Structure 1
Amino acid sequence: MTVVTGVPARIARPWSRVARAAPVPVAEAVRTGRPVWIGSHQELARRFPRTALAFPYPVAMYVAPLVDGGTCWGAVLLLWPGTRPPTLGTDERRAIGDACRRMARGLRRSAERGEPVRPRSEPLALEPPAPPGEDPAVHVVDRLPGGVCGLDLDGRVTFLGAGACELLGSGPGELLGQRPWEVLPWLDDPANENAYLSALFSRLPARFSARHPRGQWLSFVLYADDRGITLRVRAIDLPEQDREREVARTAPAGAPVRAGTLFHLLHLASALTEAVSVQEVTDSLSEQMMPVLDAQGFALLTAEEGRLHVVGSRGFPPEMPAYFEGLPMATRTEGVRTIESGTASFHPDSTALLRAYPDVERYGDMAAYAYLPLTVSGRTIGCCVLGYDRRRPFAPDERAELTSLAGVIAQALERARLYDANARAARDLQAGLLPGELPRLRGLRVEAHYQPATTLLDVGGDFYDVIRLDEATAAAVIGDVQGHSVRAAALMGQVRTAVHSHAQVGASPDVVLARTNRLLEDLDTDLFASCVYAHIDLRRGRALLATAGHPPPIVRYPGGRTQVLDLPPGLLLGIEPDARFHTTEIALPPGSLLALYTDGLVERPGADLGKAVSDLAECIAQAPAGPLPTLRDRLLRVMAGRAHDDRANGDDIALLLLETENAGPGRAGPTGEAAAVSAPTAGRAPRRLPTERRAPGG
């Protein structure tokens, strides 16, 4: 977030950084490139429950992406009170659209000048323009019974009538420029500030009552618009039962947590429910918890195999994690004591703590500390250390809230550790099922790449392989087993092994696919797979190919011309036991490039697959001559950039590039492109099923 107007920047702080994959309205607008309209809080709760939980105010919102030149440069979030009409009018949409196009154009031009708009440490808060003319409100409000205060959008007093001064018992010198609930101790109740937030966002009147130290009860009503808030104060006589209820509600003496703090902590709790990895948990805590709790230092320590492990650190000197990382649990430190005892400790002044534990100096020049145990399922897995640069009293309610927050952190951290462990196991399994090193043939250069889905934990089913048959022939295969699961990975390994075995005995491509298809039927699995198999003959300068419902291969010939191969379609493997497949012969003279890939490289929700394949062929054609790793990186980068959605489909990517270097021994092969089609594998005609996939143009 770079600019905010109409609401305080401190309230907008939880959204100052938003992950593009986050399930929130702004991220969805950027991912899809389409506006997002939410007409009510009920609709917000249905579509974006995380946002509704952290933002419990009746508003309507419209998020418009800033798109220019095919690139999304940002987004604008507009808020209205929930009382507005449930739809946007034509004039409103036109005005917003025109403004967004101008902003997107400005952002693009700024980037082209080498001066792109960068995030700020704190969003720039702009005041709405003041209306012309002198405000005669002073004389008007002083004639009214009771008192009137004016507040800006940040809750600070901008105007104070004589009646309000009398009722509040404070003058302009004490209140102007301040938030009333921060300078008047008897108003220091989170519910009072929350009434201000409710009026600010809903633009509906909000009320609360409080007892003055003189014993008099006062009623406060807040009326908000886009310029500020009017606070009406009146003396009231509460019934006895209402007085008892209000007294019971009044916060105890001390330093209660502000409503804004509760707002941010609620946002933090909802963000932790979305954090899946240990790094995401650490980032959420350091970026959101530290400013809310006014902490200058943060560290997350865990106990693993008898030693301390520093999961994350922010605000402490670099030598702090270096010292504590790997420290034996037998070492006498306050962090170890917290983990072993499972009890929190609060140190308003660090003097005594330094005498007891000299290694606290490693945390730098901090004046106060809080050590919070991270306890989950009855065991303490670590501790959270908060450091403050000033003395801090740690009132009883603050201690209770910090201890409760530590429990939420512990649950999120334990879940994230389990996720990371499973993710490592999935990556190891995936790596074990793919070839560790591809064979080398004289006259053939090979480059392969596998990229797992970024949003999924389970192992994928994409696979590739290159099989050396003799000095001048090789087989290449690429495929995709349905789904992301251990079952999909296991089936992928079996399919790859079957293809390898049938290729080694010299079977033609159509026979290899037919026999592999029969294997899937014998395994009695409900999963299916797509596949392309290529037999490359370097002596004759040709390749024989067959496909089973897979995206079409692409060939770039020595002159630079690129062709998307229109192979005879075949059913997906595992659909029909007697499915027939066809072998197609193409020329592959020296200097030719054959590109095989899975649909994760080209397929996007709502996008035309044929157009995406054509874009990939165009990218290959325009790529300058160079080593295959450079071409691989270019294809991955360009195709991801054209998707504009950060791989929102969550699919794996496999890419296999094969380039012939010379004709090899023997006579040259055919010079045409798709030269001949062999007879199909024997068997009855396949039954047409709804799940049948055909290559584009088939």
Structure 2
Amino acid sequence: MSGDGPTLRRPGPGDADDSGTAYLDEPLARCVRELGANVGAIYLCDLEPEMFRLALLIGAPVDFFTPWLRVPLATPTPGTDAIRQQQLVWVGNQQQMVDAYPGVAVAVPYPFVLAAAPISGTRRWGALLLLWPPTHSERATRRERRNVMSTCARLARLVDEHTRTRRYVPPPAPRVLSSVTLRPAAAPQGPAAADFAARLPDGALALDLQGRVTYVSPLAAELLGRSEDDLAGTLPWQSLPWLDDPVYEDRYRAAVFTRQPVAFAALRPPNASLHFRLYPDSSGISVLVRPAGEADGSGSVQRDRLSPVPARVGRLYQLMHLATALTEAASVRDVVDLVADQIVPAFDAHALVLYLVEAGRLRVAGHRGYPAEALARLDGSPLNTGLAPSAQATTTGAPLFLGSRAEFDMLYPGVVRPAGQQAWAVLPLTTHHEPVGCCVMAYERPHAFDADERAVLTSLAGLIAQALERARLYDVQYELAHGLQQALLPDALPDLPGLETAASYLPGTSGMEIGGDFYDLIRLSCGSAAAVIGDVQGHNVAAAALMGQIRTAIRAHATATTSPAEVLSRTNRLLLDLDSDLIASCMYVELDLDRRQARLASAGHLPPLLGFPGQPAQPLDIAPGPLLGVDPGADYPMTHFPLDAGTLLALYTDGLVESPDTDLDQALASHARQLDRNDPGQPTDLDALIDALLRAVPPTGPRTDDIAVLLLHTLA
């Protein structure tokens, strides 16, 4: 493949590297060339947490990647999965893409093979993406895996070195590297190649990978009805309006993605039918054009003259992708992020404000690119005046397209325009004839909204409105559910002499269901306390309600009994008397701070992590009893251990250590290492320790379980 793979064109006078990523060009090009890939891309982290942006691209137009110019880590794509899982992700065929990443498959409905691998050094910098034609093996070879991972390691070292002496700045826009063919180029070849093409019985064109015409033979110009000069440097569907059809552009996109020959027929007015065949490779596309016979045509010709210019196929695919993504947006914040990160770039806008209707006013739900003073003026503007474009569009339900400042000032002479904006699309968000809000997209230059763009934006507004309506309902339910759960957890932990404490509850990130995780610290006397942690089965209101009952029962039994075993036994019998279908794990630890002793009993709960002064922390060896709610005659063995000054005890629920593809013993050992401290017996930043424990949770995607952590540290 070394004879026809991509390499780098040295930047010319107008090719300044504004993004500061030129040091990554050569490793990317070499990897693409050595592995025979069609397309290579590098994503790097953004300044916004958990966000990655396209930095470098080779082998395809950047327009093909518009839906993924900026990608939140939570978005399911091969690249984000590679970053989260820190491993190679291989998609061997189109069906695998449909099964694993339906949103990507909708936006790019072509067969190809894809590899994504993480670029990780001192931090998770990003991901490397490679694409091959569908003729490539569906399985990665050992050589390919080794090359991809070694390239990622080199890229990570380069970014580490680059940022060691300077502040990291993400690239403002992706750089597209030129692909050229590595063939010996003798001086006479240019005229000879032109003479060769002129002698062919078919017309010949050459396109670069961006779709622009780089060569036209005389016969091709004659067949297309334009001069060679008129066609050179243009996109065919722009210089030849009769090719401005999604079907034809789709064939071009298919050729670029699959590197397979494609063919189609088109009618050149008034009645000349032409046959096109595209032959792609890594440097561009060769096109042969020949007559395909005369077409019948009054009807066809008339349709060609009168039909409106169809939508760009890339925009249609973007719309399908965005529609799919909007159905997955759960909260209002998710909708705002999706619109800002994917929809705004797709339409070349530079700023966005998304309003929600609340009590007759427009409230800002989210924005990008708007100055703070403008937001303060816009937030809470009344609907009944109709003076501003956003209020007018919301109340009338009709979109507004303002292509220039002059047009804005003529229609709204008394309204202050945000600085730096020169065109606006004001889209009412309406469902069931009820206004939900308004979406305003702003442009930094005058913008002509053609009929195609207006139609797509209007359709998109309907999808955004539906997503926002669902998201508002979700947010209300989420706040109610988690408000209930927070009300059932302690507001604050009691202060006890000689004991430092800290606790944290972290809800799951997948779905809005609340969990049954709970913790508590109960003062038994001036020198003693009881620490409790547990997890009720299920993620719903019933689980949270039962959690509240168990916590109340434990508090009552803690002051009326003499041992942890008896507390759990009584709580177990109460749970059975409630005739609930749910079960629960629980751990009860009695702390005697005066005697420096502790004893605990466990009802099927994971062992605590215990660190003694000067010794590494490790899981405590315990003998747990049955879960609560299973056996009315269950016994709960007790475990005794000392509480010397400097002892650190960590109680937690299973969400901290259990996850798919994670070994429990390894997870416990990893979290135990987070608890080791340099100064045993001295005050410790327990909140920082909890943060360290939570950071050690493997990032395997949306977290389906809640996490509760309770830390106890004895002082001298």
TM category (shorter chain) comes to 0.7 to 0.9
The Cα shift of 1:545 comes to 0.6
3-state secondary structure, aligned to 1:596? strand
Using the aligned pairs only, state the percent identity: 43
Change (3 A) 1:456 1:628: farther
Change (3 A) 1:192 1:628: farther
Q: Distance in 2 between matches of 1:626 and 1:130?
A: 68
Instruction: Indicate conservation of the 8 Å contact 2:682/2:715, yes or no.
Output: no
Change (3 A) 1:642 1:472: closer
Correspondence for 1:266? 320
Task: Tell me which of 353, 358, 374 is aligned to 1:299.
Answer: 353
Change (3 A) 1:369 1:116: closer
Correspondence for 1:680? none
Q: Structure 1: 5+ residue runs without aligned partners?
A: 663-698
Q: Deviations over 1:355-404 (max 9, x none)?
A: 44335433345444332221113312112223345554533343322211
Q: Distance in 2 between matches of 1:219 and 1:318?
A: 56
Task: Tell me which of 157, 168, 183 is aligned to 2:224.
Answer: 168
Correspondence for 2:257? 201
Correspondence for 2:83? 30
The Cα shift of 1:246 comes to 7.9
Correspondence for 2:669? 614
Instruction: Indicate conservation of the 8 Å contact 1:65/1:74, yes or no.
Output: yes
Correspondence for 1:282? 336
Q: Distance in 2 between matches of 1:609 and 1:414?
A: 41
Correspondence for 1:127? 178
Instruction: Report how many aligned residue pairs link the two structures.
Output: 657
Q: Deviations over 1:593-636 (max 9, x none)?
A: 22212222222322221222222222212354598672332343
3-state secondary structure, aligned to 1:475? strand
Q: Structure 2: 5+ residue runs without aligned partners?
A: 1-42, 44-54
Instruction: Indicate conservation of the 8 Å contact 1:156/1:177, yes or no.
Output: yes
Instruction: Indicate conservation of the 8 Å contact 2:656/2:697, yes or no.
Output: no
Task: Tell me which of 231, 236, 239 is aligned to 2:292.
Answer: 236
Q: Distance in 1 between matches of 2:507 and 2:262?
A: 51
Instruction: Indicate conservation of the 8 Å contact 1:294/1:388, yes or no.
Output: yes
Instruction: Indicate conservation of the 8 Å contact 1:517/1:577, yes or no.
Output: yes
Correspondence for 1:54? 107
Correspondence for 1:605? 660
Correspondence for 2:135? 83
3-state secondary structure, aligned to 2:591? strand
Task: Tell me which of 456, 471, 475 is aligned to 1:401.
Answer: 456
Q: Distance in 1 between matches of 2:538 and 2:214?
A: 60
Q: Deviations over 1:535-592 (max 9, x none)?
A: 1112211111111121212233344553532111212222222221012222113332
Does the alignment pair 1:185 with 2:245? no
Instruction: Indicate conservation of the 8 Å contact 1:303/1:381, yes or no.
Output: yes
Correspondence for 1:216? 272
Q: Distance in 1 between matches of 2:170 and 2:317?
A: 23
Task: Tell me which of 138, 141, 144 is aligned to 2:200.
Answer: 144
Correspondence for 1:695? none
Does the alignment pair 1:470 with 2:525? yes
Q: Distance in 2 between matches of 1:490 and 1:206?
A: 62
Q: Deviations over 1:30-88 (max 9, x none)?
A: 2222322222212211222111111111111122334568x754322211122333333
Task: Tell me which of 530, 534, 545 is aligned to 1:479.
Answer: 534
The Cα shift of 1:467 comes to 0.7
Correspondence for 1:694? none
Q: Distance in 1 between matches of 2:447 and 2:235?
A: 21
Segment of structure 1 superposing worse, 448-457 or 410-419: 448-457
Change (3 A) 1:474 1:577: same
Change (3 A) 1:110 1:344: closer
The Cα shift of 1:245 comes to 5.8
Q: Distance in 2 between matches of 1:115 and 1:251?
A: 58
State the TM-score, normalizing by the size of structure 1.
0.87
The Cα shift of 1:443 comes to 2.5
What is the aligned-residue RMSD (CA, Å)? 2.7
Q: Distance in 2 between matches of 1:114 and 1:488?
A: 52
The Cα shift of 1:493 comes to 0.8
Instruction: Indicate conservation of the 8 Å contact 1:546/1:581, yes or no.
Output: yes
State the TM-score, normalizing by the size of structure 2.
0.85
Counterpart code for 1:240: D
Does the alignment pair 1:329 with 2:383? yes
The Cα shift of 1:503 comes to 0.2
Correspondence for 1:92? 144
Q: Distance in 1 between matches of 2:301 and 2:139?
A: 40
Correspondence for 1:589? 644
Counterpart code for 1:371: V
Counterpart code for 2:490: P
Counterpart code for 1:47: A
The Cα shift of 1:410 comes to 0.5
Change (3 A) 1:313 1:657: closer
Does the alignment pair 1:319 with 2:373? yes
3-state secondary structure, aligned to 1:236? strand
Change (3 A) 1:353 1:114: closer
Does the alignment pair 1:545 with 2:600? yes
Instruction: Indicate conservation of the 8 Å contact 2:390/2:426, yes or no.
Output: yes
The Cα shift of 1:167 comes to 1.9
The Cα shift of 1:477 comes to 0.4
Segment of structure 1 superposing worse, 557-566 or 161-170: 557-566
User: What pairs up with 1:283-682 in 2 under 5 angstroms?
Assistant: 283-333=337-387, 334-349=389-404, 351=406, 353-364=408-419, 366-560=421-615, 562-622=617-677, 624=679, 630-637=685-692, 639-645=693-699, 648-662=702-716
Instruction: Indicate conservation of the 8 Å contact 1:529/1:573, yes or no.
Output: yes
The Cα shift of 1:116 comes to 7.9
Q: Distance in 2 between matches of 1:236 and 1:465?
A: 81
The Cα shift of 1:528 comes to 1.8
Counterpart code for 1:383: C
User: What pairs up with 1:678-693 in 2 under 5 angstroms?
Assistant: none
Instruction: Indicate conservation of the 8 Å contact 1:605/1:649, yes or no.
Output: no
Q: Deviations over 1:452-509 (max 9, x none)?
A: 2233311121111111111111111011112321111111111111111100113310
Instruction: Indicate conservation of the 8 Å contact 1:601/1:636, yes or no.
Output: no
Change (3 A) 1:523 1:444: same
Counterpart code for 2:248: N
Counterpart code for 1:49: P
Q: Distance in 1 between matches of 2:386 and 2:359?
A: 17
Change (3 A) 1:546 1:343: same
Correspondence for 2:49? none
Change (3 A) 1:207 1:363: farther
Change (3 A) 1:127 1:368: closer
Counterpart code for 2:60: V
Change (3 A) 1:116 1:201: farther
